[in-house]
Amino acid sequence: MNIDTKWLEDFLMLAEVQHFSRAAEARHITQPAFGRHIRALEKAVGQNLIDRSTTPISLTPAGRQFRNIARNMITQMEEGLRLINGTEQPLVNPIRIATPHSLSSPTLLDLIEHSDKEHDLTYAIDILRVDFAVESLTEGNCDFFLGFEILSLLQPPFQSLCIGHGHFLLVSASDNNGQALFQPNSERTPIIRYSAESYSARLIEQHQPDLPQLNTYPVFETSMCQLHKEMAIRGKGIAWLPDSQIQQALKDKTLVAIEPDVYRLPYQVRLYRNSAPLRKEAEALWLALSKQVQSGWQIHLPWQQ
């Protein structure tokens, strides 16, 4: 297979700007020449990579897979040249992980600490809203997406590992006696609410019909779990929070779980990847974690009273 690296760079530019003339301009070549490069690349790969019937143009499923492969090929070549020339760089071949705020700490940090025991790795982390993180994985902009269970990612072309599970708990600040400051079953209670587009809001809505009705009214809305936690600790209202984020707060009674046997919503923590081959460091990490999960390892288990 004869593939010119310039074709790969042209393809990556086209995937980014989604427009032939703008991509050609950015690559400083004529549009006819640019088009020939893309067609030559498609012929070499043996697949249509570009869907030319859409406006703006988009990648075919094969194109989305190949985008990750092309980026890895370019990266490996650049790193090889830097090694030959003795040029240093801040991060060498980092593992690229996208994750939402709710799993960035401590879950992601625990995963990195766990992985560093066996691998000498560097990391580039993007903290993104869940839908943007999914898009990043789909477009090949990250190696892994650390997220909750998402049905659309549990089928090809994606793979996933369940590396933890727990519960969203309904929590309140504590009073002077260490009891919940608010009693939403018996009194009108302020609640910190998730933004409608957030994963947490959808999870709560999904389970709402199965829960006893609460007497609440919203006082604050945000998609960020950390702000929910801070507002709840300050006594501004009750909040639904993943137990992975509030273990210490529950232990020292800064927060109190309200009827945890009733108000608990199960979740999974999953590490997702695209089926396209990853760079060797990312593949090695995936293989190691796969073996550990098969042996029963989990980064997080549900909180116990």
Q: Which two tokens stand for residue 12?
A: 């990556």
Alpha carbon 109 to its chain's center:
14
Backbone angles phi, psi at 8, to 5 degrees: -65, -45
Q: Are 133 and 99 in contact (CB under 8 A)?
A: yes
Give the pLDDT confidence score for residue 68 in this predicted structure. 82
Q: Of 119-133, 203-217, 259-273, 290-304, where does mean pLDDT reach its minimum?
A: 119-133
State the Cα–Cα distance between residues 256 and 250, nearest whole angstrom.
6
Host H or E run for residue 160: strand 158-173
Alpha carbon 197 to its chain's center:
15
**Positive or negative: CA dihedral 144, 148, 154, 156:** negative
The 8-class DSSP code of residue 233 comes to H
Host H or E run for residue 267: strand 264-274
Give the residue extent of every domain in the chain. Answer: 5-85, 95-165+268-294, 166-266
Whether the domain at 5-85 and the domain at 95-165+268-294 fall into the same CATH topology: no
Mean of the per-residue pLDDT values of the chain: 89
State the Cα–Cα distance between residues 219 and 181, nearest whole angstrom.
16
Q: What is the largest CA-CA distance in the chain?
A: 76
Give the pLDDT confidence score for residue 119 in this predicted structure. 76
Give the pLDDT confidence score for residue 197 in this predicted structure. 82
Q: Which two tokens stand for residue 225?
A: 């779990």
For the chain, percent of residues with pLDDT exceeding 70:
95
Give the pLDDT confidence score for residue 217 in this predicted structure. 95
For residue 88, pLDDT over 70 is answered with no
Q: Please report which confidence band the pLDDT of residue 91 belongs to, taking 50, 70 and 90 as the band edges.
A: low
Closest among 243, 209, 249 to 231, alpha carbons compared: 249
For residue 105, pLDDT over 90 is answered with no
For residue 56, pLDDT over 70 is answered with yes
Assigned fold of 95-165+268-294 = D-Maltodextrin-Binding Protein; domain 2 (3.40.190)
Q: For 167-208, what is each residue's pLDDT tens digit?
A: 999 999 999 999 999 999 989 999 999 988 888 899 999 998
Q: Strand 123-127 vs strand 95-99: parallel, antiparallel, or unpaired?
A: parallel
Give the pLDDT confidence score for residue 228 in this predicted structure. 93
3-class state of residue 250 by DSSP: helix
For the chain, percent of residues with pLDDT exceeding 90:
55
Mean pLDDT of 129-152: 90
Cross-strand bridge partners of residue 98: 126, 145
**Positive or negative: CA dihedral 291, 293, 295, 298:** positive
Give the pLDDT confidence score for residue 116 in this predicted structure. 82
Superfamily name with CATH number, domain 166-266: Periplasmic binding protein-like II (3.40.190.10)
Q: Are 60 and 47 in contact (CB under 8 A)?
A: yes
Q: Please report which confidence band the pLDDT of residue 295 belongs to, taking 50, 70 and 90 as the band edges.
A: very high
For residue 6, pLDDT over 90 is answered with no
Q: HSE (CB half, 13 Å, CA atoms) of 263?
A: 19
- Which DSSP string do the residues of 114-144 spell out, in sequence order? HHHTT----EEEEE--HHHHHHHHHTTS-SE
Q: Please report which confidence band the pLDDT of residue 87 belongs to, taking 50, 70 and 90 as the band edges.
A: low
Is this prediction's pTM over 0.75? no
Host H or E run for residue 259: none
Q: Please report which confidence band the pLDDT of residue 285 belongs to, taking 50, 70 and 90 as the band edges.
A: very high
Say which residues have a Cβ less than 8 Å from residue 279's Cβ, sequence separation at least 6: 72, 75, 76, 93, 143
Give the pLDDT confidence score for residue 72 in this predicted structure. 79
CATH class, domain 5-85, is mainly alpha
